């Protein structure tokens, strides 16, 4: 069976007043079924642009080249109409800030069931049940009641759970999570990571997890791509990247990760 998701030589270019600038340069990676790829790098390294390019969601003016294949089907260059049927369906994305991605004027149930109906059709009643089940799956207590609540009635961690429920409601083959835990406190971060890892192992969804924090992906990724200034500086299995990094920059990122056995300077 072929790999689920194969990206080859992906380049993203922006026109600027000083000429074209490549913000993602010849990035290649593979995500297998059941696999999590961690993309890590400092702010501005091109992590989000990589994810947005894959979904055809880049800001106006950006150009892409290379190849992005899901189940052997090329996505780069597909029409907006075709991509719309892929987004939220075969590939879905969870963003950093759930408040700006959820509509404050609609109940979470309506937002999840609309997403479901857009791609899968069916009755309102059955879509509502899908929403209740999805909320249940991501650990929202009393989902049959909570389904009628608005985003502001949920805590930050719960809102992120709602986003994950929405992303998973159409059983995507690939889930892209772009810094989904950055806005959360450390304990809630850990709970969301645990939830994602658990959902992934039960649903078999491939996952791309984007973060600037190498420590976060050490527990969930099988493969790691390290980016700096748009360049893919290192790509390998998590084991190799963590235990025998080949690049100086990766070593530097690893050194910045606090360890439990670090001595505390008083």
Ligand X SMILES: Nc1ncnc2c1ncn2[C@@H]1O[C@H](COP(=O)(O)OP(=O)(O)OP(=O)(O)O)[C@@H](O)[C@H]1O
CA gap 105, 114 in Å, rounded:
14
41 binds, among Mg ion, ligand X, none (CB under 5 to 8 A by kind): ligand X
CB of 66 to ligand X, least distance (A): 15
User: Among Mg ion, ligand X, none, what binds residue 206 when CB lies within 5 to 8 Å by partner kind?
Assistant: none
Q: Which is closer to ligand X, CB of 46 or CB of 88?
A: 46
User: Residue 177 Cβ, how far from Mg ion at the closest point, in Å?
Assistant: 12
State which residue has the least CB distance to Mg ion.
48
Spatial contact of 61 and 245, defined as CB atoms under 8 Å apart: no
Q: Which is nearer to ligand X, 49 or 163 (CB)?
A: 49
The residue among 174, 244, 246, 256 whose CA lies nearest residue 212 is: 256
Minimum CB separation of residue 114 from ligand X in Å reads 28
Distance between CA atoms of 228 and 125, rounded to whole angstroms? 47
Alpha-carbon gap, residue 92 to 181, rounded angstroms = 17
CB of 124 to Mg ion, least distance (A): 36
Take residue 234 and report the two structure tokens written for it.
């290192």
Q: Rank residues 41 and 98 by Cβ distance to ligand X and give the closer one.
A: 41
- Interaction of residue 181 with Mg ion, rule CB under 5 A: no
Could you tell which of ligand X, Mg ion, none binds residue 211, using a CB distance below 5 to 8 A set by kind? none
CA–CA dist 63, 251 (Å, integer): 32
Q: CA 46, CA 62: separation in Å to the nearest integer?
A: 13
Give the nearest distance from C-beta 204 to ligand X in angstroms: 27
Contact string 18-57 vs Mg ion (x = CB under 5 A): ------------------------------x---------
Cβ 91 vs Cβ 138: under 8 Å: no
CB of 38 to Mg ion, least distance (A): 14
Residues that bind ligand X (CB under 6 A): 14, 16, 23, 41, 43-49, 59, 212
Q: Cα 144–205–246 angle (5° rounding)?
A: 135
CA distance 146 to 110: 11
Look at the block and give the residue holding tokens 């491939």. Answer: 206
Chain centroid to CA 223 = 14
CA distance 255 to 247: 13
Is the Cβ of residue 23 or residue 108 nearer to ligand X in the bound state?
23
99: which 2 tokens? 């408040």
Whose Cβ is closer to ligand X: residue 45's or residue 189's?
A: 45
Query: Which residue's CB is nearer to ligand X, number 43 or number 202?
Result: 43
Binder of residue 66, out of ligand X, Mg ion, none (CB less than 5 to 8 A by kind) = none
Interface ranges with Mg ion (CB under 5 A): 48
């Amino acid at each position: 069976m072929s790999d689920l998701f194969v990206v080859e030589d992906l380049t993203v270019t922006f026109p600027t007043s000083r000429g074209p600038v490549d913000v993602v340069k010849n990035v290649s990676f593979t995500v297998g079924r059941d696999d999590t790829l961690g993309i890590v790098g400092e702010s501005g390294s091109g992590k989000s642009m990589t994810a947005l390019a894959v979904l055809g969601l880049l800001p106006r003016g950006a150009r892409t080249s290379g190849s992005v294949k899901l189940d052997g089907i090329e996505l780069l260059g597909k029409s907006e109409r075709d991509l719309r049927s892929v987004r939220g369906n075969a590939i879905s994305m969870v963003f950093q800030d759930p408040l700006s991605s959820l509509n404050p004027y609609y109940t979470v149930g309506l937002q999840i069931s609309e997403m479901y109906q857009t791609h899968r059709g069916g009755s309102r009643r059955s879509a509502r049940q899908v929403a209740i089940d999805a909320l249940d799956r991501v650990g929202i207590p009393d989902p049959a009641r909570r389904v009628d609540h608005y985003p502001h009635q949920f805590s930050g961690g719960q809102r992120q759970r709602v986003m994950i429920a929405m992303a998973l409601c159409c059983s995507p083959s690939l889930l892209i999570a772009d810094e989904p835990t950055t806005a959360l406190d450390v304990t809630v971060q850990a709970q969301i990571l645990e939830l994602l890892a658990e959902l992934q192992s039960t649903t078999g969804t491939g996952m791309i997890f984007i973060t600037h924090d190498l420590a976060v992906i050490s527990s969930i990724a099988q493969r790691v791509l390290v980016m700096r200034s748009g360049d893919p500086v290192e790509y390998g299995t998590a084991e190799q990247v963590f235990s025998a990094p080949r690049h100086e920059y990766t070593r530097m990122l690893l050194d910045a990760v606090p360890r439990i056995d670090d001595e505390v300077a008083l």
